[in-house]
Structure 1
Amino acid sequence: MKIPKPIQRGSSWRITVTFENKRYSATRDTAKECEHWASIKLLELKTGKVDLEQGIKPPYPFRKLCDKYYQEHGRHMRSARTIMFKIKNLDRIAPNIADKSIYDFKPTDIALWRNDRKKVVKVATLRNEHAIYSAVFTYAMKELFLIESNVWHTVTMPSKEKSRNQRITPEQQELLLKSLDWDGATTPENSKHFVAWAFLFAIETAMRQGEILAMRRADLKDGFVHLPITKNGESRNVPLSKEAKRLLSLLPVDSDELVPIDKVMCCGTWVRAKKRVNLPQINFHDSRHEAITRMVKVRKLPVEVLAKITGHKTIGILINTYYNPDAQDLVEMFNDSES
């Protein structure tokens, strides 16, 4: 059935559909929203299961909504890989709600899922999954106009865990390089070498793993690396130290792709390397903590300059999460301030 054209009335739009000699109308802010509403309304009416006067709606499984969300929205996001994983593994992550109709969701369903899930995953994982599934419902509410509110917002998630303060000592750094079979002075030749190179470059620049893997030769400028797109959606310029420039000089010059490995290979290689030297507590992202702490200690960078380098919009996160001085660092800085 053809969707009728919305009619503008003042600052809003109105659309009317007819089904079995009955007219159904809605007013929305834009013509696109009207067309969305009309297409869903006609689909509901055609099923023969909807009785609007009784408030009955056709079943719409959460699994189906998740698939639609990913295809139309999630796959275009920078976190597409994570979103796809959480949706693909819905049967394992959320078996009690995977096939439940979104119209039948109750806060108790989500609370039950939360309580079961936190027994097997960390709080950070639970909060991430909650955020993704909540975004799916928000999409259904604001883009598809299937529901009036987001039930996921009614259930409280556990508070964030204490921020990591893991530092990387010179001894640990050497052990990891040895495990990755790279001396830090020759041209990287295989995946282990490139992971080791990326690790050292991260410690020197405070760049994220994904930012390093995405670098291209055209991004290298005179004294800095230009990152055209970062985690927060904005570009950033990262100054290069002498050591960072030395590391870049070791890379092959015949490719635009500076680090020819993807995130899956990088993560897998890193996990195996740290297990070989019994350092399971060290995450690749800890290199960012170490880099930021060193920048403050060695270069005495003011926090506003540091934030520009690291890309933090919230100074509090930069200071409280990523700057991890030990007691001796604080003592030295305190004494330096008196001299």
Structure 2
Amino acid sequence: MDSFMTLAQTLETYRLKVSIQKKGYSQECYRIAQLLRAPIASKVCREVSSPDIASYRDARLLDLNSNTGKPISAATVRLEMSLLSNVFDIGRIEWGVCETNPVTNVRKPKSPPGRDRRLLPREERLIMRYCHHHKNRELYSLVVLAIETAMRQGELLNLAWEHINLRNRTAHLPETKNGTQRDVPLSLKAREAIMRMGAKTRGKVFTYTSNGFKSSWRYMMIRLSIENLHFHDLRHEACSRLFELNTLDIMEIAAISGHKSLSMLKRYTHLKASRLVKKLEGNKSRGQQVVLNHLVPYPAVASESSIGFTVKVLDFDDVHGVGYTLDAAIKAAQDALLRHLMIALRDRIFIPDPDQYLEPVNDEEIFLLDPLNTFIEPARITA
């Protein structure tokens, strides 16, 4: 090879000879395209210095993401620098286009902390209701499978009917991100999500393309006003729920999720503190714990009309209080909430956690109604 190749020429050679052999070929092409647009790409490869790499790093960190308008993440810049480092290593060892790797001595941006975003119960209900009524029924099944199986988006979109064994209740993934095959157990909900697509003998289960599905997910988040929830966060949620079952060990969960590194699996699992509290308390005063766990404040709104005041508890359709004065309505709503919770406990009726209501309400109008305690005055009364 020409020993005076520019970095741009070296990057193109790398793309044609090295990147094309990788599973992440398309992603690496995006990074190479970004590097080709940088001023550093026009320099002869052997003349690129560590200060040049540092300048590229600093300039990239000031760039804005064209989709979100936010600064480019440190993780993105780290990946680009890792790619550059590999290009220089291969260029030095195999192609002879440089003598050193200038990336080696340059500090990479600090790794951001792993995401700990959990799917909130109300968000899950909103998403499921939206997906259930969506014109493309695939959206509902994909979300259910993501939560039930911890599969990645690419693994879900590549699911094939010939690799699904409903008798054994497994889905075979012949090709995964880390290059190994694995079999994923299918829960009852997961099997129902697959079967509603209409069982076939061959072919893909889903017709969504990667870009098409990403677009549908982004649009859904905007419509539902859900912030900072990525589809990949459902994999986080699924792994965390597997841990919270307390029936599987870490190796069994790794076999389901496909994590090769147990340290990486740890990043995906963020156990809910409420589950840990139950473990700490053990079985002491268990009956009391069950009752007190449900006698908690619930969101409510107060409204005024010509005949008085009404206080409605948002998580229940039929729990409210009315009175000629606000205090009387609040007291009536407290009594109604306490009575509803105690009857539900007695009759073993499901009691939702607070803040799972789907009714659109102005946040400034909401206050917490405690069935046992004194009331805190609401921020605003609805006319």
Q: Same fold (TM over 0.5)?
A: yes
For residue 104 of structure 2, the aligned residue among 153, 165, 174 is 153
Q: Distance in 2 between matches of 1:83 and 1:146?
A: 21
Q: Distance in 1 between matches of 2:197 and 2:238?
A: 21
Q: Does 1:67 align with 2:18?
A: no
- Which amino acid is the alignment partner of residue 88 of structure 1? A
Question: Counterpart in 1 of 2:195?
Answer: 249
- Which amino acid is the alignment partner of residue 84 of structure 2? Y
Shift of 1:78: 1.1
Question: Counterpart in 1 of 2:30?
Answer: 85
Q: Distance in 2 between matches of 1:170 and 1:232?
A: 31
Q: Distance in 2 between matches of 1:252 and 1:139?
A: 49
Q: Distance in 2 between matches of 1:213 and 1:283?
A: 16
Shift of 1:189: 6.1
Q: TM-score normalised to the size of structure 1?
A: 0.75
Q: Distance in 2 between matches of 1:299 and 1:126?
A: 38
Matched-pair contact (CA < 8 Å) for 2:74–2:112: yes
Q: Distance in 2 between matches of 1:98 and 1:233?
A: 31
Q: Distance in 2 between matches of 1:337 and 1:157?
A: 49
SS at match of 1:136: helix
Q: Distance in 1 between matches of 2:94 and 2:193?
A: 47
1:131-280 equivalences in 2 (<5 Å):
131-180=82-131, 182-183=132-133, 190=136, 193-221=137-165, 222-254=168-200, 256-280=203-227
Matched-pair contact (CA < 8 Å) for 1:202–1:287: yes
Deviations 1:150-189 (A, max 9, x none): 2212211022111111000221122223444x25xxxx86
Matched-pair contact (CA < 8 Å) for 1:66–1:136: yes
Deviations 1:55-95 (A, max 9, x none): xx53x121111111111221231111111112223355xx2
Q: TM-score normalised to the size of structure 2?
A: 0.67
SS at match of 1:284: coil
Which has more radius of gyration?
A: 2
Q: Percent identity?
A: 27
- Which amino acid is the alignment partner of residue 41 of structure 2? A
Q: Does 1:332 align with 2:275?
A: no
| Structure 1 stretches lacking a partner, 5+ long | 1-39, 45-56
Matched-pair contact (CA < 8 Å) for 2:144–2:189: no
Deviations 1:210-235 (A, max 9, x none): 11111111111222111112111111
Cα RMSD, aligned residues only: 2.1
- Which amino acid is the alignment partner of residue 116 of structure 2? N
SS at match of 1:308: helix
Stretch of structure 1 that moved more, 230-239 or 253-262: 253-262
Matched-pair contact (CA < 8 Å) for 2:119–2:234: yes
- Which amino acid is the alignment partner of residue 195 of structure 1? L
